[in-house]
Amino acid sequence: MAAEKTIDAYILGLGDWRGEIVAALRHLIREAAPETRESIKWAQPVFESHGPFAYIKAFPRQVNFGFWRGADLDDPEGLLIGDGDRMRHVTITAPDQMRPDVFTAWVRQAVALNAAKGDPTRNR
């Protein structure tokens, strides 16, 4: 029988600094956008408001915090990476790389973009 697919189980399954990062990002998202729905989709935590706007994906040596409309987010420091036409992410390899003010601003912008433009998986 498959393990329960929850974000709590995802975090618990990591069991190291990556779990701490995922939990901190989840808390940040909940604070910045309390209306957010969360679930596990595509084997990772996904956060939705008018469609998906952010995801968190843990890898063995990093955690990616990504945005469906990342190319449209304000990023004067050039922290977001990716070369597609919309999606971008930031790579976190240690807890001290958390940028709460920057990340909170991105969450709020991403939610606002989805509110204005609709579900990014359905609209261009």
Which domains are present in the chain?
A: 7-117 (3.90.1150.200)
pLDDT (0 to 100) of residue 5: 87
Mean pLDDT of 23-51: 97
Question: What does the alpha-carbon distance between residue 37 and residue 28 come to, in Å, rounded to a whole number?
Answer: 14
Question: What does the alpha-carbon distance between residue 110 and residue 68 come to, in Å, rounded to a whole number?
Answer: 8
pLDDT (0 to 100) of residue 117: 95
Mean pLDDT of 32-37: 97
Helices marked H in 1-124: 7-14, 17-32, 100-117
Instruction: Please state whether the predicted TM-score (pTM) of the whole model is above 0.85.
Output: yes
pLDDT (0 to 100) of residue 39: 96
**pLDDT of residue 21 exceeding 90:** yes
Q: CB-based contacts of 116: which residues, under 8 Å, 6+ apart? A: none
Mean pLDDT of 54-63: 97
Mean pLDDT of 79-89: 95
**pLDDT of residue 2 exceeding 90:** no
